[in-house]
Amino acid sequence: MSRAQQLFDRQLQVDCVQRLQPFAERLNPRHAEIFRNFDAQYYWSAFQCEWASDILFRPGALQRLEPLLLRHGLLNFSSPDILRFLEQTAFRQRVGPGRIYRRDHRQFEESRHRGKAQILDTGNSLKCYGKAHTPVGDVFRVETMTANAPVFRAYRSVEGGPPEVLAWRPMP
């Protein structure tokens, strides 16, 4: 686990702008010439991001626990609970099996099938499932995919503002 943490910590130190600049120069080799009279740099952002967390169990343990975990989730968590985690507001009333509607009337789908629990809402999803069952160990994966990042909050300063003024702000 310490090796995984080291790799993650190293990833946070990567200067993404510096790493992506060669791609920008290849895609638009005339950028410097076109914008020679302006300070126009590329602003990099990601439309979709996926974060996966793997939990390793002893061989055979997950196959015994997975049905219990899914049953626990089905019996103890409702769609509004999951929406609250995803920072969405929903009506408390369920509309049909596995479906509820948000206050803005967009449909929210919840499906739990084939050993997977998946929550979808206009671009963001949360999915949990048994990824692998091997003699070395069993892997349980939790995937969070975002394509609508502003619904999440990050404790940060305003872009271009004083770095010491921090608040919970929508992710850019």
Question: Mean per-residue pLDDT for 70-97?
Answer: 61
> Which pTM value belongs to this model?
0.53
User: Residues 56, 93: one domain?
Assistant: yes
User: Residues 126, 80: one domain?
Assistant: yes
Cα 67-69-73 angle, rounded to 5 deg: 115
User: Residues 131, 99: one domain?
Assistant: yes
User: Residues 30, 53: one domain?
Assistant: no
Is 97:78 a contact under the CB 8 Å cutoff? no
Mean pLDDT of the chain: 75
Structure confidence by residue, pLDDT tens digits, 103-114 = 444 444 444 444
Question: Mean per-residue pLDDT for 2-30?
Answer: 88
User: Residues 89, 136: one domain?
Assistant: yes
Q: Is the pLDDT of residue 84 over 90?
A: no
Q: What is the pLDDT of residue 26?
A: 92
The structural domain count of the chain equals 2
Instruction: Quote the percentage of the chain above a pLDDT of 70.
Output: 73
User: Residues 65, 40: one domain?
Assistant: no
Q: Is the pLDDT of residue 59 over 90?
A: yes
Q: What is the pLDDT of residue 99?
A: 47
Highest mean pLDDT: which of 19-28, 84-93, 100-109, 148-157?
A: 19-28
User: Residues 83, 153: one domain?
Assistant: yes
- Domain with 74, as residue range(s), is 47-170
Question: Mean per-residue pLDDT for 17-30?
Answer: 90
User: Residues 39, 56: one domain?
Assistant: no
Tell which wins on pLDDT, 96 or 27.
Answer: 27
In sequence order, the 6+-apart residues with CB closer than 8 A to the CB of 12 are: none
Residue at a domain's end among 27, 44, 61: 44
User: Residues 27, 53: one domain?
Assistant: no
User: Residues 21, 53: one domain?
Assistant: no
Q: Is the pLDDT of residue 89 over 60?
A: no
Q: Is the pLDDT of residue 125 over 50?
A: yes
**DSSP assignment of 63-124, as one string?**
HHHHHHHHHHHHHH--HHHHHHHTT--B-SS--STTEEEBTT--EEEEEEETTEEEEEETTE
User: Residues 52, 134: one domain?
Assistant: yes
User: Residues 77, 27: one domain?
Assistant: no
